[in-house]
């Protein structure tokens, strides 16, 4: 990445900060955050943002959704049989037309529509709005605990995220408020999602009363989970996984075994889920109780337990 491109990325990041959007650095041509605890560490401080992009000149940039940035983002995409644009038209026919607002053309040739989050409602991330992992719709809602990849970041294909309609900070328009019918609908879906029961394939290993099962914690964050003879398979969160390629198993002492057959590293997988290495083990607090508690993974990697960060996702 050239110095000119790096400067362009920094200028954009600082413009988002002036817009009041919390900014975070992502890995090169990736949606994976470069910093731990990114939902808490994302910032509007120009000095911090400049330091990040000076340290990682090839980084992509992300924007935190939810109340911290007063943003709700509608992510519209097309994967396989899921036609997000068609489903969005159906939603508009039911809930009312969406007003003009800043829009991004994503590197995957989808769209992201930026709206001002309702001040009195807390809307979380909703995947497959109006559908399910088995029947995706191509429309996701990025709210609390999630973030979006912002222009001029690069997609893994090399295509650039770009503004179709930019925000005020870039000479465009203000983020519109979602119509009341949309807010009520998303609030209802978000509430249902937060209390929905675990699927049968996860039931055996969902949260125990003392929250002491790491496999259940991981499975609860994954999509497309299916039981196998040796554990589970799921869609890998570290890449655009249409056919489940992530294997999840249980190792010695109840620790989680992860392997992506597409080649994603364990580091990228847990970063995409906004977890730490300690979340792969039964007792996540050993790292706080003992100065040095080291485990060795199946590939020989030594891991020291650390404190658990806030969870979330980047899209």
Residue by residue, DSSP assigns 92-115 as HHHH-PPPP--EEE-TTS-EEEEE
So what's the pLDDT on residue 204? Answer: 34
Query: Do residue 52 and residue 71 come from a single domain?
Result: yes
Query: Do residue 188 and residue 210 come from a single domain?
Result: no
Query: Do residue 143 and residue 66 come from a single domain?
Result: yes
* Beta bridge mates, 3: none
**Rounded Cα gap, residues 202 and 4, in angstroms:** 49
Query: Do residue 175 and residue 275 come from a single domain?
Result: no
Q: How far is Cα of residue 175 from the mean position of the Cα atoms in its chain?
A: 21
Q: For 68, which DSSP code?
A: T
33: burial class by Cβ within 10 Å (0-12, 13-18, 19+)?
Answer: buried
**Rounded Cα gap, residues 257 and 293, in angstroms:** 18
Euclidean distance between the first and the last CA atom of the chain, given in angstroms as a whole number: 22
Number of other CB atoms surrounding residue 203 within 10 Å: 10
Contact 152, 63 (CB under 8 A): no
| Structural domain harbouring 38 | 3-195
Query: Do residue 19 and residue 38 come from a single domain?
Result: yes
Number of other CB atoms surrounding residue 188 within 10 Å: 11
Query: Do residue 184 and residue 216 come from a single domain?
Result: no
Domain boundary among 195, 224, 239: 195
Query: Do residue 148 and residue 212 come from a single domain?
Result: no
Query: Do residue 162 and residue 53 come from a single domain?
Result: yes
Contact 64, 24 (CB under 8 A): yes
Domain boundary among 138, 169, 195: 195
**Rounded Cα gap, residues 25 and 51, in angstroms:** 10
Q: Name, in order, each residue with C-beta under 8 angstroms of 188's C-beta and a sequence gap of 6 or more.
A: none
- Residue with the two structure tokens 């992506």: 260
Domain boundary among 163, 195, 227: 195
So what's the pLDDT on residue 298? Answer: 58
3-class secondary structure, 286? helix
Query: Do residue 191 and residue 219 come from a single domain?
Result: no
Query: Do residue 161 and residue 238 come from a single domain?
Result: no
So what's the pLDDT on residue 142? Answer: 93
Per-residue pLDDT tens, the chain, 315 aa: give them. 555 556 799 999 999 999 999 999 999 999 999 998 888 899 999 999 999 999 999 999 999 999 999 999 999 998 777 899 999 999 999 999 999 999 999 999 999 999 999 888 888 888 888 887 778 899 999 998 889 999 999 999 999 999 999 999 999 999 999 999 999 999 888 765 443 333 333 333 333 323 457 888 788 788 888 888 788 999 888 887 777 889 999 888 778 999 988 888 888 888 888 778 888 887 654 434 444 456 566 556 666 555 444 456 677
So what's the pLDDT on residue 315? Answer: 74
The reply to whether omega before 175 is within 30° of 0 (cis) is: no
Alpha helices by DSSP H, 196-291: 200-203, 214-219, 266-272, 286-289
Query: Do residue 182 and residue 211 come from a single domain?
Result: no
Q: How far is Cα of residue 115 from the mean position of the Cα atoms in its chain?
A: 18
0.85 exceeded by the pTM? no
Domain tally for the chain?
2
Q: Name, in order, each residue with C-beta under 8 angstroms of 265's C-beta and a sequence gap of 6 or more.
A: 238
Query: Do residue 57 and residue 78 come from a single domain?
Result: yes
């Amino acid at each position: 990445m050239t110095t000119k491109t790096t400067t362009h990325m920094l200028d954009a990041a600082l413009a988002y900060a002036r817009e009041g959007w919390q900014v975070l650095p992502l890995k090169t041509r990736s949606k994976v955050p470069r910093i731990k605890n990114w939902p808490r560490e994302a910032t509007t401080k120009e000095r911090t943002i400049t330091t990040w992009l000076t340290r990682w000149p090839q980084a992509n940039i992300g924007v935190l959704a939810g109340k911290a940035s007063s943003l709700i983002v509608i992510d519209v995409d097309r994967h396989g049989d899921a036609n997000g644009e068609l489903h969005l038209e159906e939603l508009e026919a039911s809930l009312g037309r969406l007003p003009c607002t800043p829009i991004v053309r994503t590197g995957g040739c989808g769209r992201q529509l930026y709206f001002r989050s309702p001040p009195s409602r807390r809307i979380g991330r909703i995947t497959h709005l109006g559908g399910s992992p088995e029947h995706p719709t191509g429309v996701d809602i990025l709210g609390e605990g999630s973030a979006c990849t912002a222009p001029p970041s690069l997609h893994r294909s090399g295509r650039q995220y770009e503004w179709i309609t930019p925000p005020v900070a870039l000479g465009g328009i203000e983020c519109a408020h979602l119509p009341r019918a949309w807010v009520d609908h998303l609030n209802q879906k978000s509430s249902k999602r937060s209390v929905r029961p675990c699927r049968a394939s996860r039931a055996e290993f969902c949260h125990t009363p003392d929250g002491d099962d790491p496999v259940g914690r991981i499975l609860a964050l994954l999509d497309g989970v299916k039981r196998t003879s040796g554990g589970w398979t799921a869609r890998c969160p570290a890449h655009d996984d249409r056919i489940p390629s992530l294997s999840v198993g249980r190792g010695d002492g109840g620790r989680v075994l992860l392997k992506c057959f597409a080649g994603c590293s364990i580091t990228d997988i847990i970063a995409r889920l906004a977890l730490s290495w300690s979340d792969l083990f039964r007792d996540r607090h050993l790292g706080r109780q003992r100065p040095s508690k080291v485990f060795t993974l199946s590939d020989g990697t030594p891991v020291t337990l650390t404190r658990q960060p806030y969870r979330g996702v980047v899209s």
